[in-house]
Amino acid sequence: MRESWFLLLRNLKEFWRTFRQNKLGLVGGLLVLIALLAAIFAPVLTPYDPSEIIRDENNRALTFAPPEVHGILGTDDAGHDVWSQLIFGARISITVGFLAGFIAMFVGSSLGILAGYFGGRTDTIIMRITDILLVIPDLPLLLVLVATIRQMELRISPLVVLIIVIGLLYWTSTARLIRSQVLTIKERQFVARARAIGAGHWHIIRNHILPQLTPLIVTNTVLILSTAILIESGLAFLGLGDPTRPSWGTMLNFAFERSAISNGAWWFYLPPGLAILWVSLGCILLGNILEEMLNPRLASHHLEGERGMIAVADTESRI
């Protein structure tokens, strides 16, 4: 057990060392961190309650007030403070996106390990399911599922429906990735040795395979988070969010449905989209940095001029 922790720690340390050198990755991490902090400290950062109606001196609701007239980002169609909505929206968007992403990651990693490790019929069944889910257009599937579940009057929050449906549909790419990685790890010496001295399946998976997979799972999770955030915003934009707890997607739905565009209320429809872009771009930058580490063969190619080739030859001779 202690040995597996050591392996995990070593892999994470290596991961961190490479990560630190990658500026884009650091930028991505910073973007995500700022969004997380905004979500956590939302009450401190906002002067108004997001559902509070701002009124002018005649006690009329201040609707579509531009930023010059009110606050940081003006007001929306009903007189709510847009800045407060945006910051509190971070909580909803990030919570739904992250929980859905973690479910997808958990399901995908588990099924990927099962398929890769046990092979045979388990593998066939899991891979057939990923094949099927890969071909069905995802948004129409999400829409019928979410709409039908909501209609069933199950008394669950619309946000929970979103989390579960997104989480249970977006695991296929993770499963395939993890499976192919497990297939190569499985053939290594240390797994064969562990098996030879009588280690059980669970022991081998937990102590020998899982630690090797950790960096891959971490990066893949981060990428899935960006997908989940984008999907949540899309579904919310189409009206499947929780109107009482607006995420960024719900805000855009309100802005679009309640004529923010014809009123020229850019402060209402620009910021939520930028916020979605901010977080999903952050996750992508954070997650994508491992691509080159995982695929060193692509470090240079044959049409990149003489210097590249000499460099490759050099490293080869040194080895």
Partner 1 sequence: MSRRDYLFSKFGISILTLLFVLVLDFVLFRVLPGDPVRAVIGRNIRISAEVQESLRAQFGLDKPIFPDQFIDTMGQWARGNLGVSWSLRRPVGEILISKLWNTLLLIGLGQILSIVLGVILGLLAGWKRKTPFDVGALTFSLIAWATPTFWLGIILLVAGSAWFGLPTGGIVSPENVGKPLYTIIPDVARHLVLPTLTFTILYLGEYMLIMRSAILEVLSEDYILTARAKGMSHFQVLVKHGLRNAMLPMITIIALNLGFTVSGAIYIETVFSYDGLGNLVQTALVKQDYPLLQGAFLLLAVSVIVANMLADFLYTYLDPRVKAN
Identify which of residues 44 and 303 has a Cβ nearer to partner 1 in the complex. 303
Question: Binding to partner 1 by residue 144, rule CB under 8 A?
Answer: yes
Backbone angles phi, psi at 26, to 5 degrees: -65, -40
**How many angstroms separate the Cα of 47 from the Cα of each of 42, 111, 235, 244, 246?**
10, 46, 29, 19, 18
What six digits make up the tokens of 193?
């040795």
Return the SS3 of 81. Answer: strand
Question: CA-CA distance, 106 to 202, in Å (whole number)?
Answer: 17
User: Is the Cβ–Cβ distance between 85 and 251 less than 8 Å?
Assistant: yes
User: Is the Cβ–Cβ distance between 4 and 207 less than 8 Å?
Assistant: yes
Question: Binding to partner 1 by residue 310, rule CB under 8 A?
Answer: no
What six digits make up the tokens of 314?
């050099």
Instruction: Show the binding pattern over residues 7-46: x = contacts partner 1 (CB under 8 A), - = does not.
Output: ----------------------------------------
CB of 281 to partner 1, least distance (A): 4
Question: CA-CA distance, 74 to 245, in Å (whole number)?
Answer: 20
Vertex 190 angle, CA 296 and 206, to 5°:
90
Among 90, 252, 286, 290, binds partner 1 (CB under 8 A): 252
Which residues does 60 contact at the CB level (< 8 Å), separation at least 6?
none
Question: Binding to partner 1 by residue 319, rule CB under 8 A?
Answer: no
CB of 233 to partner 1, least distance (A): 5
Q: Which stretch binds partner 1 (CB under 8 A): 59-67, 183-191, 192-200, 264-272?
A: 264-272
| Type of residue found at 245 | R
Burial (CB count within 10 angstroms: exposed 0-12, middle 13-18, buried 19+), residue 60: exposed
Identify which of residues 150 and 195 has a Cβ nearer to partner 1 in the complex. 150
Question: Binding to partner 1 by residue 251, rule CB under 8 A?
Answer: no
Among 3, 14, 52, 131, binds partner 1 (CB under 8 A): 131
Identify which of residues 121 and 302 has a Cβ nearer to partner 1 in the complex. 302
What six digits make up the tokens of 233?
């915003």
CB of 208 to partner 1, least distance (A): 31
Question: Binding to partner 1 by residue 1, rule CB under 8 A?
Answer: no
Question: Binding to partner 1 by residue 136, rule CB under 8 A?
Answer: yes
Q: Which residues bind partner 1 (CB under 8 A)?
A: 128, 131-132, 134-141, 143-145, 147-148, 151-153, 226, 230, 233-234, 237-240, 249, 252, 256, 261, 266, 269-270, 272-273, 276-277, 280-281, 284-285, 288, 297-298, 300-304
